[in-house]
Structure 1
Amino acid sequence: MQHPTPADIQRVREFLLDLQARICSALEQQEQKNGSTVQFNADHWTRPEGGGGISRVIQDGEVIEKGGVMFSHIDITKLPASATERHPDIAGAQAQAMGVSVVIHPKNPNVPTSHANVRLFIAEPEGKAPIWWFGGGFDLTPFYPNDSDILAWHQKAHDLCAPFGDTLYAKHKQWCDDYFYLKHRDEQRGVGGLFFDDLNCWDFEKCFEYIQAVGNGYLEAILAIFKNNQDKAYTEAQRDFQLYRRGRYVEYNLVYDRGTLFGLQTGGRIESILVSLPNLAAWSYRPVWDEQSPEKRLVDYYLKPRDWLTELSN
């Protein structure tokens, strides 16, 4: 297996920083279209163990209520359980991890919450060759779904996967459906997208090309969804439903998300780890929705694993 050189690692770092900057700039432009002057604030930080990052956060905008686009590149002296459960051969090894993680909570209930992540992990077990892999993906969590948006989202995922193999989209879509599942609720977090981890089945360069395609694909797909929906009118009842469904997002991130657990177990920066949580969310005791309502249809139809490209293309 080809091992990444210091120059390779630097190229990944440069891409991640550029991706972070482009995502923030593009979303700020969506804010400006609504007359808002709210921008992402950059918070540079370091950690005693080594490394650091840049947390870019936007709050209380006209378009984005809370958003985080986080870059980190950290050194780890002893890998935690969240990293070694699937790889016991690297337990206790030194490592470095870098990535960009994005969570955007729009203000308008017609615009879905979205998440993306691309990352590189390199472990150096004593006396052994380095072990590396890429991970990432993106997923969409709508409150009032628009079929054309869901179709475009999955079409983008399909198309960016196509140059890397005919079966890759189906594999990473299934992985996303399996991963973003709230077992205690028996429902999906949203309508899915792509998810992958431990990616080193190709040489380093091809793996790097894939995470670039994923990061760039997320930005293109989510901007189109903002433009289609951010100016739609909404009611107070729809806003209440949005806050209720955000509670599910919080539950998932605190109970199941491996990235959150990894950050906590490596002594990560708590403000950056929990920036994925919205400023406002709600929990109601067993709410009842009308059988014909869009709220009921969200849970009964959209929050189930589906072949969206086939169902919505017909």
Structure 2
Amino acid sequence: MFQNICIKSFQAVSSVTLYRHVFKNKGTRLRHIGAAILSSGMAAYAATKYKAEMAKAEIDTVNFMAAPITDIKKLSQNPNDMKTKMELLIMKMQAEVCHALEAEEDEGTTFHVDRWERPEGGGGITCVIQDGRTFEKAGVNISVVQGHLPPAAVQQMRARGKILQEGPLPFFAAGISSVIHPRNPMVPTVHFNYRYFEVKNADGSVQWWFGGGTDLTPYYLDEDDSKYFHLTLKEACDKHDKTYYPKFKAWCDDYFHVKHRGERRGIGGIFFDDLDTPSQEKTFNFVRTCAESVIPSYIPLVQKHKDDPYGYSERQWQLLRRGRYVEFNLIYDRGTKFGLYTPGARYESILMSLPLTAKWEYMHMPSPHSKEWKLLEVLKNPRDWLGTGNATK
């Protein structure tokens, strides 16, 4: 365990070093995120019976935030099943992200861990911080659910080009979803989601695909931050296919478009869905690399800005921008819609992405050439941060 902590600490420090080297930020006090990644969610493992099961299992789950949704014996017996691989990946990523975020909070501020089960099949683990000094609301949620697709979900999938047979369609879905709403307006909000989906047709054939992405929503534009964030995602994509970043960056700009406002939710990142090539294993490896890029892409930005000064006007602008965030999630977001359509849905977890506080002000418009205006210009006209050229999905 000590070796794993050292490795994670080195990786975190390396990401901070890269940020300093590339953009040479002055006056920035970045502190190591790895030294404090000593778990705080271990209370979930207090039960003696569960510890005994873990000791017998071939799969190491000791650092997870709670017990896996699928029975540990079943996971151990099916290590090569993609459903097993995806569940273990999202459990691992949930714990690593939670511990990295806790390291940026005051001592004693930890995630509330809520493991829940779904009567129709499966369940999830919702981890939330509320009213922290650094994070006003931070949620990291995993879900592993199964059952039969509801008609509304089938209709939505067919609208995206999926060819689904008639009749009851068994499905399996596993994913991790997180939205981090910081307290300081100078720290951007980040969202990431990575998921795997299977649908079994009446003839026994199985359709599978992956989806997900990571995107940044700043309240005040820092161009160095934006370039660093996109560079980290590009490096993750380039390990698998150099066409991925420009394609998925353009897809992200298109997807997170608040159409009735004529602006994007943030400065983008990457987004993809229905990804089922070149192979299941290679696509899974790509998704894993993207998920592992979340901490190094975001934590240095938190460390850089969480103690920046701000006043009343900056806070009000932050609340207005959060209102736009809410509008997108409730009107357009595909994952939110699927969750709300699914029987037995747990609405507290689905709506975890909404901020603790937000604001809507009638006909608000920032002053021309102000810092707020500068952000709005980028939201209306997405920028090619790394000069990779325009791409279409």
Q: Same fold (TM over 0.5)?
A: yes
- Alignment deviations for residues 206-238 of structure 1 (CA, whole Å, 9 cap, x no partner): 111111111111121011111111111111110
Q: 1:209 aligns with which of 285, 302, 306?
A: 285
| Consecutive unaligned residues in structure 1, runs of 5 or more | none
Please give the alpha-carbon distance, in whole angstroms, between the structure 1 residues aligned to 2:340 and 2:157: 12
Q: How does 1:173-192 map to 2 (within 5 A)?
A: 173-192=249-268
* Aligned residue identity for 1:96: F
8 Å Cα contact 1:101/1:117 also seen in 2: yes
Q: 1:11 aligns with which of 68, 79, 85?
A: 85
Please give the alpha-carbon distance, in whole angstroms, between the structure 2 residues aligned to 1:78 and 1:259: 14
Match of residue 70 from structure 1: 141
Change (3 A) 1:269 1:233: same
SS in 2 for 1:110: coil
Matched, 1:263 2:334: no
Please give the alpha-carbon distance, in whole angstroms, between the structure 1 residues aligned to 2:379 and 2:338: 30
| Consecutive unaligned residues in structure 2, runs of 5 or more | 1-77, 389-393
SS in 2 for 1:89: coil
Identify the structure with the greater strand proportion.
1
Match of residue 250 from structure 1: 326
- Alignment deviations for residues 238-266 of structure 1 (CA, whole Å, 9 cap, x no partner): 00100011000000000000000000000
Matched, 1:89 2:164: yes
Shift of 1:166: 2.0
8 Å Cα contact 1:82/1:265 also seen in 2: no
Please give the alpha-carbon distance, in whole angstroms, between the structure 2 residues aligned to 1:292 and 1:85: 42
Match of residue 117 from structure 2: 46
TM-score, length basis structure 2: 0.75
Q: How does 1:272-283 map to 2 (within 5 A)?
A: 272-283=349-360
8 Å Cα contact 1:69/1:101 also seen in 2: yes
Q: 2:188 aligns with which of 100, 106, 112?
A: 112
Shift of 1:6: 6.0
Higher relative contact order (CA 8 A, sep 6+): 1
Between the two proteins, the alignment pairs up a number of residues equal to 305
* Aligned residue identity for 2:348: E
Please give the alpha-carbon distance, in whole angstroms, between the structure 2 residues aligned to 1:88 and 1:132: 12
Please say which of residues 169-178 and 288-297 is displaced more in the overlay: 288-297
* Aligned residue identity for 2:352: V
What is the identity percentage for the equivalent residue pairs of Structure 1 and Structure 2?
A: 42
Match of residue 98 from structure 2: 24
Q: Which has the larger radius of gyration?
A: 2
Q: 2:128 aligns with which of 57, 65, 68?
A: 57
Give RMSD over aligned pairs: 1.6
Shift of 1:296: 1.1
Please give the alpha-carbon distance, in whole angstroms, between the structure 2 residues aligned to 1:90 and 1:190: 37
Matched, 1:126 2:207: no
Change (3 A) 1:88 1:168: same
8 Å Cα contact 2:219/2:375 also seen in 1: yes
